[in-house]
Amino acid sequence: MAAFGGAFAAVLLGVVLAAAVCFASSSAYQVPLFMPDPDVDAFVADPSAEGFLDQVEERFDDSGLAYGWAKRGVVLAAERAAVAWGPKGGRVVSISPGLIETDMGRQEMANQPAMQGILDATPLARFGDPDELAAVVEFLVSDQASFVSGVDFLVDGGSVAGLKALMAG
Protein backbone atom coordinates (compact mmCIF):
# COMPACT_ATOMS: atom_id res chain seq x y z
CA MET A 1 0.00 0.00 0.00
CA ALA A 2 2.74 2.46 0.87
CA ALA A 3 4.10 2.23 -2.65
CA PHE A 4 1.04 4.02 -3.98
CA GLY A 5 1.22 7.01 -1.67
CA GLY A 6 -1.52 9.58 -2.20
CA ALA A 7 -3.10 7.78 -5.14
CA PHE A 8 -3.91 4.73 -3.03
CA ALA A 9 -5.12 6.89 -0.14
CA ALA A 10 -7.50 8.68 -2.50
CA VAL A 11 -9.10 5.37 -3.45
CA LEU A 12 -9.49 4.47 0.20
CA LEU A 13 -11.32 7.75 0.72
CA GLY A 14 -13.75 6.85 -2.06
CA VAL A 15 -12.36 9.18 -4.71
CA VAL A 16 -12.67 7.73 -8.18
CA LEU A 17 -9.38 7.86 -10.05
CA ALA A 18 -9.05 7.31 -13.76
CA ALA A 19 -5.29 6.77 -13.50
CA ALA A 20 -2.59 6.41 -10.89
CA VAL A 21 1.10 6.94 -11.56
CA CYS A 22 3.43 5.27 -9.05
CA PHE A 23 7.02 6.48 -8.84
CA ALA A 24 9.73 3.85 -8.96
CA SER A 25 13.29 4.47 -10.16
CA SER A 26 15.68 3.31 -12.86
CA SER A 27 17.39 1.48 -10.00
CA ALA A 28 14.48 -0.98 -10.27
CA TYR A 29 16.17 -2.10 -13.50
CA GLN A 30 19.77 -1.71 -12.37
CA VAL A 31 19.63 -3.98 -9.30
CA PRO A 32 18.31 -7.04 -11.17
CA LEU A 33 20.74 -6.27 -14.00
CA PHE A 34 23.80 -6.35 -11.74
CA MET A 35 22.52 -8.77 -9.10
CA PRO A 36 19.76 -10.93 -10.58
CA ASP A 37 17.98 -12.89 -7.88
CA PRO A 38 14.59 -14.48 -8.57
CA ASP A 39 14.14 -15.10 -4.83
CA VAL A 40 14.49 -11.40 -4.01
CA ASP A 41 12.28 -10.48 -6.98
CA ALA A 42 9.54 -12.74 -5.60
CA PHE A 43 10.10 -11.34 -2.10
CA VAL A 44 9.64 -7.68 -3.10
CA ALA A 45 6.61 -8.62 -5.18
CA ASP A 46 4.66 -9.46 -2.02
CA PRO A 47 5.18 -6.75 0.64
CA SER A 48 1.99 -7.80 2.44
CA ALA A 49 3.44 -11.24 3.23
CA GLU A 50 3.66 -12.28 6.87
CA GLY A 51 6.94 -11.07 8.39
CA PHE A 52 7.92 -9.02 5.33
CA LEU A 53 9.37 -6.09 7.28
CA ASP A 54 11.34 -8.38 9.57
CA GLN A 55 12.85 -10.11 6.56
CA VAL A 56 13.84 -6.81 4.93
CA GLU A 57 16.49 -6.27 7.61
CA GLU A 58 17.77 -9.82 7.15
CA ARG A 59 17.91 -9.66 3.36
CA PHE A 60 19.27 -6.15 2.79
CA ASP A 61 22.28 -4.93 4.71
CA ASP A 62 23.02 -2.22 2.14
CA SER A 63 20.63 0.73 1.86
CA GLY A 64 21.39 1.21 -1.85
CA LEU A 65 20.42 -2.37 -2.65
CA ALA A 66 17.35 -2.08 -0.46
CA TYR A 67 16.33 1.08 -2.34
CA GLY A 68 16.72 -0.56 -5.75
CA TRP A 69 14.80 -3.66 -4.78
CA ALA A 70 12.08 -1.54 -3.12
CA LYS A 71 11.65 0.38 -6.36
CA ARG A 72 11.44 -2.96 -8.20
CA GLY A 73 8.61 -3.75 -5.77
CA VAL A 74 6.83 -0.54 -6.84
CA VAL A 75 6.98 -1.63 -10.50
CA LEU A 76 5.53 -5.04 -9.61
CA ALA A 77 2.87 -3.51 -7.36
CA ALA A 78 1.71 -1.22 -10.17
CA GLU A 79 1.34 -4.25 -12.43
CA ARG A 80 -0.80 -6.02 -9.82
CA ALA A 81 -2.87 -2.92 -9.14
CA ALA A 82 -3.58 -2.51 -12.85
CA VAL A 83 -5.18 -5.96 -12.86
CA ALA A 84 -7.30 -5.12 -9.80
CA TRP A 85 -8.31 -1.61 -10.88
CA GLY A 86 -8.87 -2.32 -14.58
CA PRO A 87 -12.33 -3.88 -14.22
CA LYS A 88 -13.39 -0.75 -12.32
CA GLY A 89 -12.13 1.50 -15.12
CA GLY A 90 -8.93 2.54 -13.37
CA ARG A 91 -5.46 2.52 -14.87
CA VAL A 92 -2.22 2.10 -12.95
CA VAL A 93 1.28 2.63 -14.31
CA SER A 94 4.66 3.24 -12.80
CA ILE A 95 7.39 5.58 -13.94
CA SER A 96 11.09 4.97 -13.35
CA PRO A 97 13.13 8.15 -13.60
CA GLY A 98 16.84 8.00 -14.17
CA LEU A 99 19.18 10.87 -13.31
CA ILE A 100 16.97 13.95 -13.02
CA GLU A 101 18.29 17.47 -12.36
CA THR A 102 16.82 17.94 -8.88
CA ASP A 103 18.25 18.56 -5.41
CA MET A 104 18.08 14.82 -4.77
CA GLY A 105 19.78 14.06 -8.09
CA ARG A 106 22.60 16.49 -7.34
CA GLN A 107 23.00 15.04 -3.84
CA GLU A 108 23.20 11.49 -5.22
CA MET A 109 25.78 12.61 -7.77
CA ALA A 110 27.91 14.22 -5.06
CA ASN A 111 27.69 11.34 -2.57
CA GLN A 112 27.60 8.21 -4.70
CA PRO A 113 30.54 7.60 -7.05
CA ALA A 114 28.51 5.06 -9.09
CA MET A 115 26.27 7.90 -10.31
CA GLN A 116 29.02 9.26 -12.56
CA GLY A 117 29.31 5.82 -14.17
CA ILE A 118 25.56 5.83 -14.83
CA LEU A 119 25.77 9.31 -16.36
CA ASP A 120 28.73 8.20 -18.49
CA ALA A 121 26.68 5.22 -19.72
CA THR A 122 23.66 7.39 -20.57
CA PRO A 123 23.43 7.73 -24.37
CA LEU A 124 21.85 11.19 -24.10
CA ALA A 125 24.83 12.17 -21.88
CA ARG A 126 22.91 14.45 -19.54
CA PHE A 127 20.54 14.67 -16.64
CA GLY A 128 16.84 14.74 -17.35
CA ASP A 129 14.87 17.88 -16.61
CA PRO A 130 11.98 17.66 -14.11
CA ASP A 131 9.71 19.15 -16.79
CA GLU A 132 10.52 16.22 -19.08
CA LEU A 133 9.43 13.83 -16.37
CA ALA A 134 6.30 15.88 -15.69
CA ALA A 135 5.39 15.73 -19.39
CA VAL A 136 5.42 11.93 -19.26
CA VAL A 137 3.21 11.94 -16.17
CA GLU A 138 0.87 14.45 -17.82
CA PHE A 139 0.52 12.12 -20.80
CA LEU A 140 -0.03 9.05 -18.62
CA VAL A 141 -2.94 10.61 -16.72
CA SER A 142 -4.49 12.04 -19.88
CA ASP A 143 -7.22 10.56 -22.06
CA GLN A 144 -4.57 10.05 -24.75
CA ALA A 145 -3.20 7.23 -22.59
CA SER A 146 -6.60 5.66 -21.92
CA PHE A 147 -5.37 2.21 -23.03
CA VAL A 148 -2.09 2.34 -21.08
CA SER A 149 -2.07 0.33 -17.87
CA GLY A 150 0.08 -2.18 -16.03
CA VAL A 151 3.42 -1.02 -17.41
CA ASP A 152 6.45 0.90 -16.25
CA PHE A 153 7.87 3.86 -18.15
CA LEU A 154 11.63 4.10 -17.94
CA VAL A 155 12.54 7.79 -18.33
CA ASP A 156 16.30 7.64 -18.08
CA GLY A 157 17.89 9.03 -21.23
CA GLY A 158 18.81 5.48 -22.16
CA SER A 159 21.00 4.82 -19.10
CA VAL A 160 19.74 1.27 -18.51
CA ALA A 161 20.27 0.46 -22.20
CA GLY A 162 23.73 1.99 -21.97
CA LEU A 163 24.58 -0.07 -18.89
CA LYS A 164 23.39 -3.24 -20.64
CA ALA A 165 25.58 -2.41 -23.64
CA LEU A 166 28.60 -1.90 -21.36
CA MET A 167 27.97 -5.22 -19.64
CA ALA A 168 27.64 -7.02 -22.99
CA GLY A 169 31.07 -5.71 -23.90
Query: How far does Cα 2 stand from its chain's mean position?
Result: 13
Q: Of 29, 71, 88, 164, which is the active-site residue?
A: 71
**Options 29, 67, 88, 164, the catalytic residue:** 67
Cα–Cα distance for residue pair 169/164, rounded to 1 Å: 9
Burial 120-152 (b: 16+ CB within 10 A, else e): ebbeeeebbeeeebeebbeebbeeebeebbbbb
Q: Is 71 assigned a catalytic role? A: yes
Residue 20 has phi, psi (to 5 degrees) of -125, 135
Is 88 considered catalytic here? Answer: no
Bridge partners of 92, per DSSP, are 20
**Which residues are identified as catalytic?**
67, 71
